[in-house]
């Protein structure tokens, strides 16, 4: 089992009853996160930042946000804010996270952490140099079901893990200017949804020692379909795929020498699983989720801040960096380079 979490020296502790949040960006994911904060007792949405006053006012009215900012820079310097959730398109993650950290704010950055590992290293270095909390918002990690799966794997319930599989695909209407297909916005299946299977494999098996992959690059040059195979030092395998062209089963499986489990559709928002153990009848488990599910990652950030942690042991910075390096290697096999990297 992977998951070697570690903590850094405590440098600050929040003693107030509620952690004050700011949200950078006002799109759909930002709105979903704002709704999720309502289910976190020790969290309060204090501010929102947009590129226009109109957008921040509309968002503020939807979620009763008191502090409205018409620029990202203004939000970053709001003295009432403790932590900022970065909810902008992929290519802006590094720039926006750095700006918030340099303003003294803790950061929860939406996945993918950055566009590439070079950017990830810069953001991590900044957070560590300033003694500030930083985490990638891989929300799937924090669901109750996923925590149970990790516990079972750690205790050897499935025996030695030999294989992992996961997929994520849907049919997206082609729009060369939209974020899914536009290379200037970091488009492509891999960074948008393929990161879920990659992160899942990393959670269970760690860093692969060999990566094999193939992709179909569409009209705009981004990956519309991909398939990935990871090999690990002890012979374990992970089979992963993502697509913007077709709906896939949306299931994830872990197979060990003593049993296997399958997380049902949608596995990346996990609620149901089936467990098969050697010589026993399969068992179905249900883990009802509260709110929209993003509240679990928000609660983890609140916990870490109140305990003075600079990172979460459930989604460490080293792991986010290793995942970005893995994604870089996969894209290099396809020859996919984004304009911001040239």
Contact 264, 274 (CB under 8 A): yes
Question: Could you tell me how far CA 2 lies from the centroid of its own chain?
Answer: 17
Pairwise CA distance, residues 25 & 116, whole Å = 21
Q: How far is CA 125 from CA 118, 122, 228, in A?
A: 11, 5, 30
Q: How far is CA 28 from CA 13, 23, 46, 128, 199, in A?
A: 31, 12, 18, 30, 22
Confidence of residue 210 (pLDDT cuts 50, 70, 90): very high
pLDDT at 90: 95
pLDDT of 11 above 70? no
pLDDT of 298 above 90? yes
Pairwise CA distance, residues 168 & 268, whole Å = 8
Burial (CB count within 10 angstroms: exposed 0-12, middle 13-18, buried 19+), residue 281: exposed
Q: In what order do the strands lie in the sheet with 83-86?
A: 67-69, 43-49, 19-24, 83-86, 106-110, 134-137
pLDDT at 263: 98
Contact 165, 238 (CB under 8 A): yes
The arithmetic mean of pLDDT across residues 322-327, rounded, is: 98
How far is the first Cα of the chain from the last one, in angstroms, to the nearest whole number?
37
Pairing of β 67-69 and β 43-49: parallel
The arithmetic mean of pLDDT across residues 290-301, rounded, is: 96
Q: How far is CA 275 from CA 235, 242, 258, 259, 336, in A?
A: 23, 24, 11, 8, 38
pLDDT at 17: 80
pLDDT of 12 above 60? no
- Residue in this structure with the two tokens 């599989």, named with its chain if needed: 165
The arithmetic mean of pLDDT across residues 106-118, rounded, is: 98
Greatest alpha-carbon span in the chain = 62
Beta carbons within 8 Å of 127's beta carbon, 6+ residues apart: 101, 107, 133, 134, 310, 317
pLDDT of 202 above 60? yes
Which of 115, 117, 114 lies closest to 101 in space, CA to CA? 114
The arithmetic mean of pLDDT across residues 278-294, rounded, is: 95
Contact 190, 330 (CB under 8 A): yes
Indicate the pTM of the whole model.
Answer: 0.93
Query: What tokens appear for 39 in the block?
Result: 């289910």
DSSP 3-state of 25 = coil
pLDDT of 226 above 70? yes
Query: What tokens appear for 22 in the block?
Result: 């700011």
Pairwise CA distance, residues 207 & 16, whole Å = 38
Confidence of residue 1 (pLDDT cuts 50, 70, 90): very low
- Where does the chain have alpha helices with state H? 28-37, 53-63, 72-76, 93-102, 117-130, 144-154, 189, 195-205, 294-306, 317-334
Pairwise CA distance, residues 198 & 207, whole Å = 10
Pairwise CA distance, residues 115 & 91, whole Å = 6
Q: Where, residue-wise, is CATH 3.30.360.10 in the chain?
A: 147-288+324-341
Confidence of residue 9 (pLDDT cuts 50, 70, 90): very low
Pairwise CA distance, residues 113 & 137, whole Å = 8
Torsion sign over Cα 109, 339, 225, 318: negative
Pairwise CA distance, residues 36 & 27, whole Å = 14
Fold of 19-140: Rossmann fold (3.40.50)
Pairwise CA distance, residues 92 & 78, whole Å = 20
The tens digit of pLDDT for each residue in 161-178 reads 999 999 999 999 999 999
CATH of 147-288+324-341, one of 3.30.360.10, 3.40.640.10, 3.90.15.10, 3.10.20.30: 3.30.360.10
Q: Where, residue-wise, is CATH 3.40.50.720 in the chain?
A: 19-140
Pairwise CA distance, residues 218 & 225, whole Å = 9
pLDDT at 14: 52
């Amino acid at each position: 089992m992977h998951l070697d979490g570690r903590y850094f020296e405590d440098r600050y502790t929040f003693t107030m009853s509620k952690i004050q949040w700011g949200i950078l960006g006002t799109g759909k994911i930002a709105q979903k996160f704002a709704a999720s904060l309502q289910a976190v007792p020790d969290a309060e949405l204090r501010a929102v930042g947009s590129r226009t006053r109109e957008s921040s006012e509309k968002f503020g009215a939807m979620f009763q946000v008191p502090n409205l900012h018409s620029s990202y820079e203004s939000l970053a310097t709001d003295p009432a804010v403790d932590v900022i959730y970065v909810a902008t398109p992929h290519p802006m993650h590094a720039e926006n996270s750095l700006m918030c950290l340099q303003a003294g704010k803790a950061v929860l950055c939406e996945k993918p952490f950055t566009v590439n590992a070079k950017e990830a290293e810069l953001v991590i270095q900044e957070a560590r140099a300033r003694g500030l909390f930083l985490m990638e918002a891989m929300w799937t990690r924090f669901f109750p079901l996923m925590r149970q799966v990790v516990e079972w794997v750690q205790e050897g319930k499935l025996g030695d893990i030999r294989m992992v599989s996961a997929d994520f695909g849907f049919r997206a209407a082609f729009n060369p200017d939209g974020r899914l297909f536009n290379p200037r916005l970091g488009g492509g299946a891999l960074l948008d949804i393929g990161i879920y299977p990659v992160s899942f494999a990393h959670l269970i098996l760690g860093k692969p020692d060999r990566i094999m992959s193939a992709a179909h690059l569409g009209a705009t040059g981004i990956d519309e379909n991909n398939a990935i195979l990871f090999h690990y030092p002890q012979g374990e395998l992970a089979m992963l795929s993502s697509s913007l062209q077709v709906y896939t089963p949306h299931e994830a499986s872990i197979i060990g020498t003593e049993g296997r489990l399958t997380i049902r559709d949608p596995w990346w928002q996990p609620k149901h699983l089936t467990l098969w153990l050697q010589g026993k009848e399969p068992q179905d488990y249900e883990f009802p989720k509260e709110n929209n599910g993003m509240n679990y990652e928000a609660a983890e950030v609140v916990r870490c801040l109140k305990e003075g942690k600079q990172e979460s042991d459930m989604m460490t910075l080293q792991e986010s960096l290793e995942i970005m390096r893995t994604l870089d290697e996969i894209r290099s096999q396809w020859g996919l380079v984004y304009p911001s990297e040239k």
